[in-house]
Chain A
């Protein structure tokens, strides 16, 4: 009895309710679709920041393009009255991520910042995470990609270059987050200040449609934006608890 009590106590301590919600940070991105012009600058910035390979025309035609953030376009209606809507789609850093449960080797896992992290060296390439992801934001290295002569000079030294057979995806520029945390520690602060760290896409966005921050800080920009009545999650019904919040586009002639 005594043993069982002690065991249950330590079990409860280990499995405290809401364990997964107790992140050091809860990095969140908001995407204001009213501001987004669909220019694609975020896509380019991401490509440059994260050493994402340019797969080339042939592979693009075969549906193997790699864009950790992409602009999805949807056309409605026929030509004269055609309406275009678009939505930037990136890894939603879900708190209940389907991809994390399925990886047999735990190459993708949830880190203490609430990020859905991917360990390239651990990945064995079953691609099951890409199947389980409802947002289709995981990209597989079908080949070894290389950068021709002068181009390899512009690779970001803070980010690895992935080899063939490995899955990759948006990390919310984890290298920048790590750097910001290091700076904060050097300055003797416990936490990173709001606005101190931005992923490449947020930094680049000319219309400031994207904002990034820690939603645990009630005064941060993202925490305020999340309270906007336009806020929603994409595919909320799948219950993946995404960390990317979209702000709905308001149309003048709502139909």
Chain B
């Protein structure tokens, strides 16, 4: 690792990062064009169709009134979980290897949250009234229902969005200033605005460091609470298979798990296509691989516990739910999830696997496919087998739903592609901190 970082010299860092913002190749435009086009045709058109005709465009039916939209919502919230959380934890533990990857990880958080909120809009029947779920003084004199886990959700997600938004922005201020000093034209004006008059004085560095740590401490419990609250949307019901106390830690672990896998995917792409080979190294993949292994074991354990509590409850409804989950209509998906999220990650035990890039990419994508399946199953298997056998019914997603699922992925990619051209996707100043300062500069703020 040492030798690889050495290759990138102190003076090159600014150039490398500014180049990634300013110099735009043909491939980038092609990628952006495709992503934007897919977003428009697969996400927005079907959504408008659904808004016009009604939720009936999706495949939901009477007992299974929630479908892939809600599964996507949990998935995106989950994906959002690791970025900022991981970045905060690693910041507080002074992990050097965080510095090359945290900006893109935090961006992933922010955009995943954005897509998740969009999925809520797609999910609900009358999205034009969604503001009713927020507490605000209004002429009607009405408040939201403070007992509702869905209302907790609105609060938690908005808090998390605000917190992680401020966190990513604040960490980037010195970089905006660095880019400001090296760009001309409209970019210069943009970064003048974004850098908030940063001059790089000792006082400013001190305040930034203090505020950054403060926010990091604030965001860690927030990240845990957000997904616990998302799990309560399910766990506070009395639906067999959902009404479980394990759900909050289950969702948090699942979220961090899929989020970490997401980071591996994003890092691979950044490394390969943004020419950041010097900064994102085998060390990062090795460490993330270890984290993934730990999380996969935790996740497997909680899954086993879920089966155990179902069996231990001794009620016929829970038994039916278990039987249906393991052998029913959705069972192939269940076993696919077990294969991708519990069995395949055991490969990470080998260091050779962890430090090879392409297998890590494949595994990270497989984990996220498995995790999406998990979210789908949480909704579909439980809701299609509830108390009254008279209303059991299987749910299959419609074409509109699948299209919106693909489109939401494209929406995320589009947002991310726009991000890498506006935000320095690697933290300039923190990379420099890891490199050591050339003698000439003398004093340097060291953490």
Cβ-based interface call for B132 (8 A):
yes
A125–B124 CB distance below 8 A: yes
Cβ-based interface call for A244 (8 A):
no
B391–A136 CB distance below 8 A: yes
A-B contact count (CB 8 A): 144
A102–B126 CB distance below 8 A: no
- Among A35-43, A126-134, A202-210, the one that faces the other chain is A126-134
Could you tell me the distance in whole angstroms from the C-beta of B322 to the nearest C-beta in chain A? Answer: 18
B150–A102 CB distance below 8 A: yes
Could you tell me the distance in whole angstroms from the C-beta of A131 to the nearest C-beta in chain B? Answer: 6
Cβ–Cβ < 8 Å partners of A65 in chain B: 62
Could you tell me the distance in whole angstroms from the C-beta of B132 to the nearest C-beta in chain A? Answer: 5
Cβ-based interface call for B388 (8 A):
yes
A142–B55 CB distance below 8 A: yes
| Interface range, A side | 35 or more
Cβ–Cβ < 8 Å partners of A104 in chain B: 132-133, 144-145, 148, 150-151, 153-154
Cβ–Cβ < 8 Å partners of A128 in chain B: 66, 148, 150, 233, 237
Cβ-based interface call for B54 (8 A):
yes
Q: A124-B125, A131-B383, A132-B239 are in contact. Are A165 and B55 (CB under 8 A)?
A: yes
Cβ-based interface call for A62 (8 A):
yes
Could you tell me the distance in whole angstroms from the C-beta of B334 to the nearest C-beta in chain A? Answer: 20
Could you tell me the distance in whole angstroms from the C-beta of A125 to the nearest C-beta in chain B? Answer: 2
B387–A105 CB distance below 8 A: no
B236–A101 CB distance below 8 A: yes
Cβ-based interface call for A249 (8 A):
no
Cβ–Cβ < 8 Å partners of A140 in chain B: 55, 60, 62, 65, 125
Cβ–Cβ < 8 Å partners of B165 in chain A: none
Give the nearest-CB partner of B140 in chain A.
A122
Cβ–Cβ < 8 Å partners of B184 in chain A: none
- In whole angstroms, how far apart are the Cα atoms of A144 and B317 in the complex? 35
Cβ-based interface call for B200 (8 A):
no
Q: Which residue, B62, B129, B154, has most C-beta atoms of chain A within 10 A?
A: B62
Cβ-based interface call for B186 (8 A):
no
Q: Interface size (B, Cβ < 8 Å)?
A: 46
Cβ-based interface call for B278 (8 A):
no
Cβ-based interface call for B421 (8 A):
no
B55–A105 CB distance below 8 A: no
Q: A140-B55, A141-B54 are in contact. Are A105 and B145 (CB under 8 A)?
A: yes
Cβ-based interface call for B386 (8 A):
yes
- In whole angstroms, how far apart are the Cα atoms of A122 and B61 in the complex? 22
Cβ-based interface call for A235 (8 A):
yes
Cβ-based interface call for B390 (8 A):
yes
Cβ–Cβ < 8 Å partners of A3 in chain B: none
Cβ-based interface call for A183 (8 A):
no
B147–A101 CB distance below 8 A: yes
- Using a CB-CB cutoff of 8 Å, which residues 359-395 of chain B contact chain A? 383, 386-391, 393
Cβ-based interface call for B130 (8 A):
yes
- In whole angstroms, how far apart are the Cα atoms of A105 and B145 in the complex? 5
Could you tell me the distance in whole angstroms from the C-beta of A103 to the nearest C-beta in chain B? Answer: 6
Cβ-based interface call for B142 (8 A):
yes
A142–B236 CB distance below 8 A: no
A165–B154 CB distance below 8 A: no
- In whole angstroms, how far apart are the Cα atoms of A122 and B144 in the complex? 10
- In whole angstroms, how far apart are the Cα atoms of A64 and B124 in the complex? 17
Cβ–Cβ < 8 Å partners of B142 in chain A: 105-106, 122
Cβ-based interface call for B332 (8 A):
no
- In whole angstroms, how far apart are the Cα atoms of A165 and B128 in the complex? 11
- Using a CB-CB cutoff of 8 Å, which residues 85-135 of chain A contact chain B? 87, 89, 98, 101-106, 122-128, 130-132, 134-135
- In whole angstroms, how far apart are the Cα atoms of A103 and B129 in the complex? 14
- In whole angstroms, how far apart are the Cα atoms of A140 and B53 in the complex? 14
- In whole angstroms, how far apart are the Cα atoms of A65 and B56 in the complex? 12
Give the nearest-CB partner of B315 in chain A.
A237
Cβ-based interface call for B249 (8 A):
no
B150–A122 CB distance below 8 A: no
Give the nearest-CB partner of A234 in chain B.
B388
Give the nearest-CB partner of B134 in chain A.
A104
- Using a CB-CB cutoff of 8 Å, which residues 23-76 of chain B contact chain A? 53-56, 59-66
- Using a CB-CB cutoff of 8 Å, which residues 171-190 of chain A contact chain B? none
Give the nearest-CB partner of A129 in chain B.
B65
Q: A65-B62, A131-B65 are in contact. Are A59 and B387 (CB under 8 A)?
A: no
Q: A124-B133, A141-B125, A144-B54 are in contact. Are A136 and B236 (CB under 8 A)?
A: no
Cβ-based interface call for A63 (8 A):
yes
A126–B55 CB distance below 8 A: no
Neighbour of B125 across the interface among A132, A139, A164, A237, CB < 8 A: A164
21 example contacts (A-B, Cβ-Cβ < 8 A) are as follows: A63-B393, A64-B56, A72-B391, A74-B390, A101-B145, A103-B145, A105-B132, A105-B144, A106-B142, A125-B125, A128-B233, A132-B238, A140-B55, A143-B53, A143-B54, A144-B53, A144-B54, A164-B56, A164-B125, A166-B125, A238-B238
Task: Give me 10 other A-B pairs in contact (C-beta within 8 A), A127-B65, A132-B238 excluded.
Answer: A63-B64, A101-B145, A102-B237, A105-B145, A106-B145, A122-B142, A124-B132, A126-B125, A136-B386, A235-B387
Ordered nearest first, which 3 A-B pairs have the shortest CB separation? Answer: A125-B125, A165-B125, A63-B61
